[in-house]
Structure 1
Amino acid sequence: MGVALWLCPKQNSTINDKLTTLMSSLNTLFPGQAPKFDPHITITTNVDINLDDPQQTREDVDRILSSCAAAIHSLPKNHSNLVTLGRINSQRMFFKKLYFQVGRDPNLISFARIIRELFVILPQDIELENQKINPHLYSTNSNGILKRKKSKKNRSNNEPNPATKEVDLKFVQERAAYKAAEWSAHEFDPHLSLAYSEIYPIDNALWRTIKTRISDYLNIENCDAPDLIDNGYGWDGGVLKLVLCEGDVNEWITLGTVDIH
């Protein structure tokens, strides 16, 4: 997943406290030591950040979080909650073992599309286009991965190598916008995970216990209802976090955060 952008409820908010308590309780129902993580919705994974240079990492994180905050503030104010929790679900996947579906609010979808375009697809496509038209700028490392060479300037006039071609940025941007729109329509699946686990399937007895705990903690009469909109669970604003999701879940690193008012 690389670096992911999370949208979280505000610390010390009622919804954050309720979800944190619920998640801690549900974790005890799964075998082994289920990993702990903050309540969040993943807006996108594979955010393009330079992780090789600490100074550049810090600059990338600040720039991206600032842009994300501006994007979310620019959304129309025609919703009560940007995030609305829906029905409880489970899949075979480790990261979707137990989760709340999240309503596909048009503003949430728009926000995810913008971020995916600007900070995932566009930088990837620019790099791929550069590799295609300027192969002399790259070399293959010991793992067979193309890496950009350190830039060399012309010694006489300090200008870049004249053989280097310019990327058709307009074309790449238009293509990135199309890809992001397709992704947001067909792949983006907003959800709030409650537990990560390898167990599959969740048997009927465990499901009954899970639903009982959710009902008790959130005071929900019917966990099998199509959604929880009538219960008012969700949030607007919150906290954006860039999280390095590599290795064990308990070792994930928060690179930076910004509050959304």
Structure 2
Amino acid sequence: MGSLNTLFPGQPPRFEPHITITTNIMIDLDDPNKTRDDVDRILSASAVALSSLPKNHDKLVRLGRVNSQRKFFKKLYFQVDSDPNLVSFARIIRELFVILPHDIEEENIKQNPQLYTKDSNGNTVKRKLSKKRTKSQSPPAQEAKQFDTSGLQYLAAQKAADWSLNEFDPHLSLVYSNIHPIDNALWRTIKTRISDYLDIDNVDSDSFNSGVSGLGWDGGVLKLVLCEGDVNDWIVLGSVDVH
């Protein structure tokens, strides 16, 4: 990755090699204690989910051909085989920590509008409870209405299954860049460097696949990352080793 970065103009950002499992995980960032609890809970549950997958694969992550797109975050990357276990893991994480929390929050807004307000940008946010209350202040908001989430859980499972089949696109990014298109001369240099480094030919060919290259791994580290602002400003909120 370091060698490839030097081929692109403008000093592309450096980042750790990784496979993105999902985005938009819901955590509480307003309260540091709640943030820590959310991060620990999500990482622990994710590690358990990963360990529960069938042990019928040699490598959970198997790299395929090198490819490029117009998108900044998919400028240059290895495709990753959609291994059934990897897809199942992504589906579980998407359901439990993205879709279901979002759907429950939306339903709570409908059932308990008194618990929410609008921020300066017009977004719906939870009201912050004051730690101190005087006699002159208004009384506490009425008790929250409880509601059954079983129907939401069923729908979340369906949505996650559809997402895992139609939208989940595992890949290992090599370079982030705005350059487009990659001209033929640069593309030849890229292929040469990757081929020389890995001692494998035709890295951008459909014939290049995990069965031939043997590139990939099983286990590693799960990380929860706050991806806001510049890539260099991304913050690792927590991590857990998985084997």
TM interval, short-chain normalised: over 0.9
1:244 aligns with 2:226: yes
Aligned-residue offset at 1:165: 2.5
1:58 corresponds to: 36
Q: Residue type of the partner of 1:231?
A: S
Aligned residues of 1:126 and 1:167 also touching (Cα < 8 A):
no
Q: Deviations over 1:117-172 (max 9, x none)?
A: 000111110000111122121111221111112469xxxxxx9835x332320011
CA distance in 1, matches of 2:163, 2:213: 30
Contact preservation (8 Å) 1:61, 1:242: yes
Q: Distance in 1 between matches of 2:114 and 2:35?
A: 26
Paired residues in the alignment total 232
- 1:181 deviates by 0.5
Q: Tell me the secondary structure at the aligned position of residue 192 of structure 2.
A: helix
Counterparts of 1:42 and 1:63, CA distance in 2: 19
Q: Map 1:80-159; keep pairs closer than 5 Å.
A: 80-150=58-128
- For 1:77 and 1:140, the matched residues in 2 are separated by 48
- Which amino acid in 2 is paired with 1:41? I
Counterpart selection for 2:193 from 203, 213, 228: 213
Q: Secondary structure at the match of 1:30?
A: coil
Q: 1:170 aligns with which of 150, 175, 179?
A: 150
Name whichever of 28-37 and 220-229 sits farther off.
220-229
In 2, the alpha carbon distance for the partners of 1:235 and 1:189 equals 18
- Determine if contact 1:87/1:101 at 8 Å carries over to the other structure: yes
- What corresponds to 1:35 in structure 2? 13
Structure-2-length-normalised TM-score: 0.92
Task: Give the Å deviation of 1:244.
Answer: 0.7
Greater shift after overlay, 105-114 or 133-142?
133-142
Asked whether the equivalents of residues 79 and 172 of structure 2 are also in contact (C-alpha less than 8 Å), the reply is yes
The answer to whether structure 1 residue 203 and structure 2 residue 183 are counterparts is: yes
Secondary structure at the residue paired with 2:20? Answer: strand
Q: Aligned-pair distance for 1:44?
A: 0.3
Q: Offset of 1:225 from its aligned partner?
A: 2.9
Work out which of the residue numbers 167, 184, 187 in structure 1 matches 2:164: 184
Structure 1 residue 214, shift from structure 2 partner: 0.3
Encode CA deviations 1:211-235: one digit per residue, 9 max, x unaligned: 0000011111221332331111000
Q: Unpaired runs of 5+ in structure 2?
A: 131-139
* Alpha-carbon distance in structure 1 between the residues aligned to 2:126 and 2:147: 15
Report the 3-state secondary structure (helix = DSSP H, G, I; strand = E; otherwise coil) of the residue aligned with 1:216.
Answer: helix
Alpha-carbon separation, structure 2, partners of 1:225 and 1:135:
55
RMSD (Å) for aligned C-alpha atoms = 1.5
- TM-score norm. by structure 1 comes to 0.86
Residue in 2 that maps onto 1:48: 26
Whole-angstrom CA distance in 1 between matches of 2:230 and 2:213: 34
Aligned equivalents of 1:140 and 1:151: distance in 2? 15
| Corresponding residue number in structure 1 for 2:242 | 260
| 2:172 alignment partner AA | L
Counterpart in the other structure of 2:134: none
- Look up the equivalent residue of 1:186 and give its one-letter code: N
User: What secondary structure, in the 3-state scheme, does the structure 2 residue paired with 1:77 have?
Assistant: coil
Maintained 8 Å contact 1:37/1:250: yes
